[in-house]
Each structure stands twice: as C-alpha cells, then as structure tokens.
Amino acid sequence: MQVHLELAKYHELCCFSEDGNYDKDAAFFHLNCAADCGVMEAIIGLANIYYGIPHDILADVEAPAEMTEDEKTKNGLTYMTMAALGGDRKSMIFIARAYETGDNLDKSNTNSIRTALHWYEQVY
C-alpha cells in the first residue's frame, strides 16, 4: 500500500522526530511493507539499497550490516527481478546484464545467455 511508502518518506523527513534524527529501522520497515504490497518505487528502492546503488528514497540507508554480501546480492536480485517483472525497463536491462556477465548474481545463480536474451527482448 502506498501509505507505507509515505510513512517511510515521513520518517526520512524527520516528521516523527524532535531531534532531527529519524528512526531508520522504522523507515526501512515501512519501505519493505510497501514493496511487499507491490509499490514499484519501494521495490526499486530496496533493490538499489541491497545492491548498494545510489537511491533517492532513504538515501542514507544501507542494507543491514549483519547480512553477508551474497545475502545482499540475493535480496537485490529478488527485488530487481520484481521490478523487471513489473515492467521497469531499467530493471530489465540490469537483470539482462547480470545474467549476461554474471555480475550482480548471488551464488545460487550463474550467468545465462538464454535468460539475458529473455530480459533484453522484454525491453523492446
């Protein structure tokens, strides 16, 4: 639901804080809820957070430190794939390149020209 995305943004703007600091965990929770509800902006935001790509929403939030790099990549790939399946062209290209080169894939995935071609074809 869009309300979770807005709550994440309100946290980032310190609307619930008196000291100028916001609760990043609460903001991240609401961003996750919005993504789980299919809000594209949240899905793309989470993909970027997990991959360490600069992002607009919760710009100073990073993936949880206790996660391994492979876990971050796996989550990034999951959210990037969700965005691609939702029609986001940049995500389609990102996924296609990942499968073409093997970069940005977790250990359970390997590069696949067939999968890369599938995503390149979806762009057009």
Helices and strands per DSSP (H, E), number in the chain: 6, 0
Return the number of other C-beta atoms located less than 10 Å from residue 54's C-beta: 7
Q: Which pLDDT does position 101 carry in this prediction? A: 94
In this prediction, what percent of the chain has a pLDDT beyond 70?
100
Report pTM.
0.93
Q: Which pLDDT does position 124 carry in this prediction? A: 85
- pLDDT tens digit sequence for 40-75: 999 999 999 999 999 999 999 999 999 999 999 999
> What is the per-residue burial (b if ≥16 Cβ within 10 Å, else e) of 81-113?
bbbbeeebeebbebbbbbbbeeebbbeeeeeee
State how far the Cα of 8 lies from the Cα of 25, in Å rounded to an integer.
10
